[in-house]
Amino acid sequence: MRVRNRNNVVVTGREGGPTVVLAHGFGCDQHMWRHVAAEIGQWAQLVLFDHVGSGRADPAAWDADRYASLDGYADDVLSICQDLDLQQPIFVGHSVSSSIGVLAANREPDRFSALVLVTPSPCYIDDETYRGGFTRDDIDDLLGSLESNYLGWSSSMAPLIMGNPERPELGEELTASFCRTDPAMAQVFARATFLSDNRADLAAVKVPTLILQCAQDAIAPPEVGAFVHAQIAGSRLVTLDATGHCPQLSAPEATAAAITSFCRAAYR
């Protein structure tokens, strides 16, 4: 009960189907999977959750030291799997949750039956010949963005969708939490996300892995997807005809289809 509450764990989709854990990235929460979950949930049992510090995770569970490193988040993923007694689930991680999934899979090699890394980047900062796409200054700049949006953030988001007749499918509950994060927690998560270097962890991945990247992504460019593909032996790389860092929003059908066909193969 404690773990479920801590991470606002939601179990949905087809009961008795193969289990798929969906992990959101930096910035928003489990609602990012809304469209994709509707598709995959037809054949899979879905486990959705919010990382501590995001969405509707328990604010009391926040610990600035624990969540200063991606290991803290990976621990949480493993404890969710233990708590729910998940049998060899497929782990789908978006953005930084790709690295979190890799860390978790390496720590407990028998835990997951497969990994799906959606727009992964093991290292965001350029380093000699490696092109992550960003400099240290860019990351400081991001921390500044988080801070400068702090003043208007808390009160300005909520009214946006209330009574939005064009989008009736979006409930109030979504508005209340989606992409709304305590700025102090967001700063810690941003540092953990964008200053981590998990390139060396990729080679240790031993489970079947699918890498999904977008043709145009301002955060994880195609070279980074190719790097991840080259580092994880036997991995598959699929480039979606999609723009942006969040194909589950910009191309949900294609994203769901790619995940589904990979998982079908994994369960054959």
Q: 181 is written with which tokens?
A: 């994060």
- Please provide the size of the chain in residues: 268
Contacts of 75 (CB under 8 A, 6+ apart): 66
Residue 73 makes contact with other proteins by CB under 8 A? no
User: Residue 217 catalytic?
Assistant: yes
Complex with other proteins: residue 45 or 95, whichever CB lies closer: 95
In the complex, the smallest distance separating the C-beta of residue 183 from other proteins, rounded to whole angstroms, is: 10
Contacts of 176 (CB under 8 A, 6+ apart): 158
Q: 197 is written with which tokens?
A: 């270097």
Instruction: Pick out residues in 146-185 that bind other proteins (CB under 8 A).
Output: 146-152, 156-157, 160-161, 164, 166-167, 170, 174-175, 178-179
Contacts of 255 (CB under 8 A, 6+ apart): 36, 118, 212, 240, 242, 247, 248
- DSSP 8-state assignment for residue 180: -
User: Residue 31 catalytic?
Assistant: no
In the complex, the smallest distance separating the C-beta of residue 223 from other proteins, rounded to whole angstroms, is: 17
In the complex, the smallest distance separating the C-beta of residue 162 from other proteins, rounded to whole angstroms, is: 11
In the complex, the smallest distance separating the C-beta of residue 107 from other proteins, rounded to whole angstroms, is: 26
Instruction: Pick out residues in 102-131 that bind other proteins (CB under 8 A).
Output: none
Residue 82 makes contact with other proteins by CB under 8 A? no
d(CA 208, CA 115): 6
Among 21, 22, 23, 28, binds other proteins (CB under 8 A): 28
Residue 118's identity, in one-letter code, is: V
Instruction: Pick out residues in 32-71 that bind other proteins (CB under 8 A).
Output: 32, 34
User: Residue 95 catalytic?
Assistant: yes
Strand order in the sheet with 236-243: 10-13, 45-49, 19-23, 90-94, 114-118, 209-216, 236-243
Q: What does the binding site for other proteins look like in residue numbers (CB under 8 A)? A: 25-28, 31-32, 34, 95, 134-135, 137-152, 156-157, 160-161, 164, 166-167, 170, 174-175, 178-179, 194, 216-219, 243-246, 249-250
Q: Which residues are catalytic?
A: 95, 217, 245
